[in-house]
């Protein structure tokens, strides 16, 4: 017997919260846990541009034959154009390679497996705090996580000096995990001058940026959100990106993302890509087609692309509006503590500053679900549930 002494794994801090939410019978419960975009009606519908692309694909599909190990080639080229801009030098110089992968998570994992097995690098520096799954993914693959300071709880802002100070202790070849935009969980990003300083530090010390790009278009815009990544690509010889289209195309359950590597020259890129493909072959052989075909269809079709961009703008602007409304309604509910920092942050998440006990009271007494750390998903707020949320916060 080999399963008798199996230990029960703890529930995932974010997806486990979803299970608890689903089991709650209260009609007026509110989920501010997992990062899923909701419309003001509280729904997560399929984007209209996606529905149209799917109709085209259904009409034109001729085979369910396997894709190549690296996925849909047109998709991979479209990803590069979206990340770097279509005429970036790394693309012209053929220093960049991309493989489709299952979501941001699958992309991070393939990147980590490749890095552990095919390079000498072992340490990855992650921000404190970071997305709850980063350490899990990296350590499962065999990387060792180290933390750099990032969020200053007292000022609700970035502690950039501390970040640079910690990263200056990293060794050549160490990886630096950076959230390209919409930092999860803090909602605080680097400005352009700070990106330039991080890029210079990476160049001087031989550190390799490892970008997690899960929210392109949710911060300031598609191009604006890639500015930090592009500064890095302009500066350092090597970097790696794991991106996801779960949020910005609403393709959560299609599991669509990509792993992209920039090498010092074309020959190194080709050799590195062969090893990334070997890693994929040993993991899931080749990716599912549907998500990659949806994204590449939309990005290649001017009308669909324009529609997607405007749908993405609507999502971004609705979240920004909810941030302002949240701050305003908290004040009206009698909360004297200053929450104005929430309106200065971007993306789906912010740290509310609520402690574990307050988070538990919100859940038990009011049916409002927030991650234990106090991270709230602003994307789950609507004009309908806002008063309930703010009054409950005022009470706890
Ligand atoms: N990276 C960050 C920072 C995220 O917040 C998420 C999802 O919440 C992911 C990666 C994973 O994205 P996916 O759902 O595409 O695996």
DSSP string, 97-165: EEEEESHHHHHHHHHHHHHHHHSS--EEEEEES--TTHHHHHHHHT-EEEEEE-EETTTTEE-HHHHHH
pLDDT tens digits for the chain (396 residues)?
999 999 999 888 788 888 899 999 999 999 999 889 999 999 999 999 999 999 999 999 999 999 999 999 999 999 999 999 999 999 999 999 999 999 999 999 999 999 999 999 999 999 999 998 999 999 999 999 999 999 999 999 999 999 999 999 999 999 999 999 999 999 999 999 999 999 999 999 999 999 999 999 999 999 999 999 999 999 999 999 999 999 999 999 999 999 999 999 999 999 999 999 999 999 999 999 999 999 999 999 999 999 999 999 999 999 999 999 999 999 999 998 889 999 999 999 998 889 999 999 999 999 999 998 899 999 999 999 999 999 999 999
**Distance of CA 183 from the midpoint of ligand 1 (Å):** 11
Residue of the CA atom closest to atom 8 of ligand 1: 35
Write down the architecture of domain 15-46+316-395 according to CATH. Alpha-Beta Complex (3.90)
The packing angle between helices 192-205 and 160-167, to 10°, is: 10
Residues of the chain with CATH 3.90.1150.10: 15-46+316-395
321's tokens: 């509006």
Q: Of the candidates 391, 362, 386, which has an alpha carbon nearest to the alpha carbon of residue 26? A: 362
* Best of 33, 184, 185, 215 for a ligand 1 pocket test (most atoms within 8 Å of beta carbon): 184
Q: 66-300 maps to which CATH number?
A: 3.40.640.10
In the prediction, which pLDDT does 342 show? 93
Q: What global pTM score does this model have? A: 0.96
pLDDT tens track for 197-230: 999 999 999 999 999 999 999 999 999 999 999 9
Q: Which atom of ligand 1 is nearest to the CA of 106?
A: 16
Stretch(es) of the chain classified as CATH 3.40.640.10: 66-300
């Amino acid at each position: 017997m080999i399963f008798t002494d199996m230990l029960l794994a703890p529930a995932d801090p974010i997806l486990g919260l979803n299970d608890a939410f689903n089991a709650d019978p209260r009609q007026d419960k509110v989920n501010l846990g997992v990062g899923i975009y909701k419309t003001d009606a509280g729904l997560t519908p399929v984007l209209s541009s996606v529905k149209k692309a799917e109709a085209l694909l259904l009409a034109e599909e001729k085979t369910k034959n396997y894709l190549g190990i690296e996925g849909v080639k047109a998709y991979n080229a479209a990803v590069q154009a979206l990340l770097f801009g279509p005429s970036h030098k790394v693309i012209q110089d053929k220093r960049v390679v991309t493989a489709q992968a299952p979501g941001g998570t699958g992309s991070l994992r393939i990147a980590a497996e490749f890095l552990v097995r095919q390079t000498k690098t072992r340490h990855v520096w992650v921000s404190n705090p970071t997305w709850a799954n980063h350490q899990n993914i990296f350590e499962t693959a065999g990387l060792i996580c180290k933390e750099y300071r990032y969020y200053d709880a007292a000022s609700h802002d970035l502690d950039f000096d501390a970040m640079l100070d910690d990263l200056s202790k990293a060794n050549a070849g160490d990886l630096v995990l950076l959230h390209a935009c919409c930092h999860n969980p803090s909602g605080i990003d680097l400005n352009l001058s700070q990106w330039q300083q991080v890029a210079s530090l990476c160049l001087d010390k031989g550190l390799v940026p490892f970008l997690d790009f899960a929210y392109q278009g949710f911060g300031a815009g598609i191009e604006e959100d890639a500015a930090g990544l592009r500064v890095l690509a302009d500066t350092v010889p090597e970097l790696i990106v794991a991106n996801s289209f779960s949020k910005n195309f609403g393709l959560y359950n299609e599991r669509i993302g990509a792993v992209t590597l920039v090498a010092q020259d074309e020959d190194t890129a080709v050799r590195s890509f062969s090893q990334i493909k070997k890693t994929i072959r040993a993991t899931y052989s080749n990716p599912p087609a549907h998500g990659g075909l949806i994204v590449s269809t939309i990005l290649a079709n001017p009308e669909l692309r324009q529609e997607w961009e405007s749908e993405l703008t609507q999502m971004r602007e609705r979240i920004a509006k909810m941030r302002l409304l949240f701050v305003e309604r908290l004040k009206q509910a009698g909360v004297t503590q200053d929450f104005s920092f929430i309106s200065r942050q971007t993306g789906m998440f912010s740290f509310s500053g609520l402690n574990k006990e307050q988070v538990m009271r919100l859940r038990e007494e009011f049916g409002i679900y927030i991650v234990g750390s106090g991270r709230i998903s602003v994307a789950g707020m609507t004009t309908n549930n806002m008063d309930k949320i703010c009054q409950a916060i005022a009470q706890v």
